[in-house]
Structure 1
């Protein structure tokens, strides 16, 4: 728990520094502009102008000097406006500036607190002071630091705020140690003391108008229950206290417009609520979830109702408040088995629909309209997902990724895309956990089962994400899509593939392993075929298309040669029905379509190696298909299949290769594709080597004579056909040349 608090504190401090320095930079700009208005000279140019010698001023007419100053002023303003563009700022620069300007102060107060602590420890070790005196010293030291900071406030505002925060920290830790270690007062007394410290620091923050100080106060206020905890949970009392603290936060943020105050309260409140929900889900949780939701929703909509704008911070807290509340509330209903769980998504949908209708009536389709439309759509989708009893976290996170990308599309604020990059891996992890149900659960329905329905919502979310990423593949500055977007695209297609593969594999898992493997390969072939079929719609790049085609032909060859042979064996041993073999033949539909329709219109045929890959897949597939069909037709059991296989390889395989080689050479000559010619002659050479090197020595005399006669006839016919084709081509070329000569 201590590590969790430390992480939260670090995040909050980061937000504080960023927010504070942004305001400081704005103030500096306002002072600079004021200086310009007073002196009519830009501050950056003042020194330059004053350095002009009197002689130079003499040679410049007054009008030219005035024009030069006006030109320099306008140039300064343009540069200042350019440098102040939010999209071009480095987000870490304000933090580094703050640290550079206040590093000594932070180190100093930290060192002072440590020094006091070591002194008190030394005094305790020497038995100079008792337990009550130790606590008294701590309280007096903290109060003394705060009083000192008060007197420094007028001339050293930032320095004083940090010093005051250090004093508040001393008071908190003193109260904690006095209760936990020395047992000087009861838990109720300790809690009252920490509440008083929090109240006093909040009053000081408002009095000093210090955002830094109120952040320290809120951190202390939210950490107080942890400091004085005895391990016995009193959640009712705890969340009444947190609700009061959040109400004070809401008032402070309205009065001073401090966004970081609301974020601090949201992070701590959400952490407490989720922890309580996980440890002890009960109906009482629901009340505080709804109260917290209302508080932070009002906080996020402050500027919207006042000035009709939604900042990046407001949109983020709107999205997070909706989804974190939905997550906790649905978890409670799911754990306690209450119905209907979709009531909360529908309630939140109604709340956002009111605001969406308000924007619709105003006929404003700007950022606010898009945000509320995205929230309403997402919440309705969550309600549908929950009604189908999908996995809670996976569905909500998947839908939230789409919402973040959608808001980024409408606002152009890259912070939403960064959050998408953070959340997307979590969705993938949750999806992996969802898939484990296939291995742990038995008798799942086909399609209508929790793992697949959950995966379906993830797939829908992924498809929308791919659409959004594709439309933003080029950034406004012209840069192409980055590595992360390419990686997300690949992972997304992988998730779709694995989802359907697991569903299919689960329902055929009772069959022999050869059938499972063959089914998986057949699905893989069709999945790649669909990607190639819709390659333009999916905006798949040419290099990715080529990779998919290589993979497609590789799977065709593997499925026919390696995967189907065990299927044939299973059919012969009566563990599989013959009809399963005909299912395997369905791979020829996409194979033929890709060869004749997709390859000619793609960049795949421009590569020489592509012809070899395609032809190799065809040779292996045709040879193996005839081999498997011959075995199934001539064999009744497994022992007979071995002899049939040997007979086929010796007698029929050379004939098949010769016919294929002839087809390749004929196609190469007709279409003037040299690679097909090379492939055909290479296959003839391989066939001849196989025939004379192995086959003839395994045949009897009759088979040997038959093989040579058939092979010789085929080769002679092929040669005759090639010679005839060559003559036809030569005659066509001669006629064309004569026609050109007569024209000349």
Structure 2
């Protein structure tokens, strides 16, 4: 018992010290106020002066001369612009900075009391009934202390009172689960009574902090007294009553945080019930909670005819979270029609939309209700075609958040869009995995591709919205826009590529690879053609050109080589190989028009990339065509390959090098000269280090003669061109003089 006496003695000392310090602090505050009045006697009349100033502001006397002066609205407008928005987390950080010690203190005190009670139990000092009694008494004592501190220290007292409420909840839970001192009904009655008392205290104290504690306890109470049996009817009847109390408190005191707390906990409970036991009763409570939180979201709209950012976000979340849960129940249980609730929710929002339309008020509320109605109808249509639920809903919701961000400019919707869009990507990837798990799906009209079409449509809408926002100056995050645009074009590409690949999956893998590569080339080529209409970022334009060159080089070398091998082994026809040569159409067009894209040629590496692609495409194209047209049996492939490499490839490289040097002289681009001479150097090095040792005498003589003639003709042509260019420059200088 000596430990108990010591503990009580320490508590008494702490209380005495705190009381003494509190008395001294109050005395010092009074002395400071007296000093202020002594050295600042004008403060005594502060209230009178402020009242006089207020009246003078309300009824200003403007001279006639001043009234006639025109006001320069354009000059004042920038000064009256809306102030920069504060970070929505700033109030939270301010609260924590001012009260973190109080929060840690009450948490530590609760833990200390718990450890002390445990120690007393281990020593067999107190029985089970007395343990519960001590816990309830301590909780009541803490609440009482908070009551007496509330006048001078409101926030501190609220946190103290919340700690006392937590002690009561945990004591009741332990008494029921561990000691079995009373039945489950009795435990539920006690926890409900604690919740009611907590809410009443919060309302009486006008403390939003305290009601958060009360709600946390109220929503945690069912878990505390649970025995593992799922009595969902009883549970959600209790939660509905709790949410109705929340709604009343939110309207009476305009406390937004209580609604969000209730929404988070209610959604968790509902989704758990939905995943464990989807049934008609679940649908009833989804509808009830939809009504409750929809009314909560319209709180400001019903009072002031406006929608705040947080209320708008609640509207979006309650509509789409309810849709996800209800449609999951319908799909799992096989209920029909699956689109009934998206359409019902769309009608609810459309009624408010029509109300705004009739008032001719086309402001923010009008845009939100219209967007919600259109989004829900879009989801209904998508689900009617059996698209994947989560992917479709998230894709539409992301576009809705981006639209609201565009209309309002509030960063909360931007943040939510940033969070949701990656989830859309992950959900779409999971949806695409359906191609590997299902057979005999219809062309286009299958759930996987239809879901992809929904994602494609919303992605295009997102790109359009970002473009408009960029034009209006509402976005400054160019890096995000670039990444988002690149990912968006990638989603569209993959959606079509996977659909094409699925339906040709019974073909030889070389044919699948060829078709996929052709689609990739033409897709990138299409983006390059439409770059101005799509307003594609210059960085992405440059990236598209590099990607196009890589695809051309890979297609001309590896893919075409595999196709030729398949042709020789009779796996595919020669006509299919000729069809594969269609990649030359966009390539030639790009070579003809690439000079108009100035951003691409800002670095020297671009000239080398373009020249390397031309060299690879021409060399491999002629090589593969030579094999496909001249080899009659697979056993002659190696001999034909060696013959082409030794005899024809040096000639091709020499011609290409000459063309590069010619372009360099004509266009005055020195980089092409370096490329041409580098290619000649590689060719000569290959010729003298390898080719001459593999040729017979006739081939060696033929190769040297042809190469020599080409080099001499090229040199002669360059000299003539150089003289022509020099004469043109001199003539121009003489005319200018």
Q: TM-score, with normalisation over the residues of structure 1? A: 0.84
Aligned equivalents of 1:165, 1:83: Cα separation in 2 = 43
Secondary structure of the corresponding residue to residue 179 of structure 2? coil
Q: Compare 547-556 and 669-678 and name the one that shifted more.
A: 669-678
Aligned equivalents of 1:275, 1:408: Cα separation in 2 = 31
Q: Compare 339-348 and 636-645 and name the one that shifted more.
A: 636-645
1:138 and 1:170 in contact (8 A); partners too = yes
Aligned equivalents of 2:554, 2:44: Cα separation in 1 = 77
In the TM superposition, what is the alpha-carbon distance from 1:287 to its structure 2 partner?
Answer: 0.6
In the TM superposition, what is the alpha-carbon distance from 1:636 to its structure 2 partner?
Answer: 1.7
Query: What are the Cα deviations for residues 663-695 of structure 1, in whole angstroms up to 9, with x where unaligned?
Result: 333333333333334433443444444445444
Where does residue 522 of structure 2 map in the other structure? 526
1:35 and 1:42 in contact (8 A); partners too = no
2:263 to 266, 270, 277: 266
Distance change (3 Å), C-alpha of 1:105 and 1:621: closer
Distance change (3 Å), C-alpha of 1:104 and 1:628: closer
In the TM superposition, what is the alpha-carbon distance from 1:276 to its structure 2 partner?
Answer: 0.3
Distance change (3 Å), C-alpha of 1:522 and 1:190: same
Aligned equivalents of 2:170, 2:362: Cα separation in 1 = 51
1:152 and 1:160 in contact (8 A); partners too = yes
Query: What are the Cα deviations for residues 673-721 of structure 1, in whole angstroms up to 9, with x where unaligned?
Result: 3333443344344444444544444444444444444444444544454
Aligned equivalents of 1:34, 1:292: Cα separation in 2 = 55
Distance change (3 Å), C-alpha of 1:340 and 1:705: same
Secondary structure of the corresponding residue to residue 126 of structure 2? coil
User: Tell me, which stretches of 5 or more residues in structure 1 are unaligned?
Assistant: 1-32, 44-81
Secondary structure of the corresponding residue to residue 603 of structure 1? helix
In the TM superposition, what is the alpha-carbon distance from 1:723 to its structure 2 partner?
Answer: 4.4
Where does residue 636 of structure 2 map in the other structure? 640
Where does residue 436 of structure 1 map in the other structure? 433
In the TM superposition, what is the alpha-carbon distance from 1:559 to its structure 2 partner?
Answer: 1.3
Aligned equivalents of 2:365, 2:332: Cα separation in 1 = 35
1:234 to 223, 231, 240: 231
Where does residue 219 of structure 1 map in the other structure? 216
Where does residue 341 of structure 2 map in the other structure? 344
Distance change (3 Å), C-alpha of 1:184 and 1:604: same
Secondary structure of the corresponding residue to residue 436 of structure 1? helix
Query: What are the Cα deviations for residues 361-380 of structure 1, in whole angstroms up to 9, with x where unaligned?
Result: 11112110111111112111
In the TM superposition, what is the alpha-carbon distance from 1:151 to its structure 2 partner?
Answer: 3.6
In the TM superposition, what is the alpha-carbon distance from 1:593 to its structure 2 partner?
Answer: 1.1
In the TM superposition, what is the alpha-carbon distance from 1:560 to its structure 2 partner?
Answer: 0.8
The reply to whether residue 514 of structure 1 matches residue 507 of structure 2 is no
Where does residue 578 of structure 1 map in the other structure? 574
The reply to whether residue 243 of structure 1 matches residue 240 of structure 2 is yes
1:533 and 1:598 in contact (8 A); partners too = no
Distance change (3 Å), C-alpha of 1:337 and 1:36: farther
1:206 to 185, 203, 207: 203
1:499 to 489, 495, 516: 495
Distance change (3 Å), C-alpha of 1:292 and 1:630: same
Aligned equivalents of 1:424, 1:606: Cα separation in 2 = 33
2:295 to 273, 285, 298: 298
2:259 and 2:296 in contact (8 A); partners too = yes
1:674 to 666, 670, 689: 670
After TM superposition, list the pairs within 5 Å mapping 1:391-406 onto structure 2. 391-406=388-403
Where does residue 40 of structure 2 map in the other structure? none
Aligned equivalents of 1:249, 1:110: Cα separation in 2 = 25
Q: Compare 446-455 and 168-177 and name the one that shifted more.
A: 446-455
Where does residue 79 of structure 1 map in the other structure? none
Distance change (3 Å), C-alpha of 1:35 and 1:268: farther
Aligned equivalents of 1:401, 1:256: Cα separation in 2 = 32
Where does residue 145 of structure 1 map in the other structure? 142
Distance change (3 Å), C-alpha of 1:627 and 1:184: same
Q: Compare 137-146 and 565-574 and name the one that shifted more.
A: 137-146
Aligned equivalents of 2:735, 2:401: Cα separation in 1 = 68
Secondary structure of the corresponding residue to residue 538 of structure 1? coil
2:482 and 2:537 in contact (8 A); partners too = no
Where does residue 75 of structure 2 map in the other structure? none
Aligned equivalents of 2:568, 2:105: Cα separation in 1 = 85
Aligned equivalents of 2:384, 2:46: Cα separation in 1 = 63
Aligned equivalents of 1:310, 1:124: Cα separation in 2 = 55
Aligned equivalents of 1:96, 1:405: Cα separation in 2 = 27
1:408 and 1:416 in contact (8 A); partners too = yes
Aligned equivalents of 1:84, 1:604: Cα separation in 2 = 41
User: Tell me, which stretches of 5 or more residues in structure 2 are unaligned?
Assistant: 1-42, 54-78
1:381 to 353, 378, 382: 378
After TM superposition, list the pairs within 5 Å mapping 1:87-106 onto structure 2. 87-106=84-103
The reply to whether residue 280 of structure 1 matches residue 277 of structure 2 is yes
Aligned equivalents of 1:274, 1:150: Cα separation in 2 = 38
The reply to whether residue 617 of structure 1 matches residue 613 of structure 2 is yes
Secondary structure of the corresponding residue to residue 183 of structure 1? coil
Where does residue 72 of structure 2 map in the other structure? none
Where does residue 39 of structure 2 map in the other structure? none
The reply to whether residue 556 of structure 1 matches residue 552 of structure 2 is yes
Where does residue 319 of structure 2 map in the other structure? 322
Q: TM-score, with normalisation over the residues of structure 2? A: 0.85
Distance change (3 Å), C-alpha of 1:608 and 1:182: closer
Q: Note the aligned Cα RMSD (angstroms).
A: 3.0
Aligned equivalents of 2:97, 2:543: Cα separation in 1 = 51
The reply to whether residue 167 of structure 1 matches residue 164 of structure 2 is yes
In the TM superposition, what is the alpha-carbon distance from 1:505 to its structure 2 partner?
Answer: 2.8
1:526 and 1:590 in contact (8 A); partners too = yes
In the TM superposition, what is the alpha-carbon distance from 1:510 to its structure 2 partner?
Answer: 3.0
2:192 to 185, 191, 195: 195
Where does residue 371 of structure 1 map in the other structure? 368
Distance change (3 Å), C-alpha of 1:652 and 1:260: same
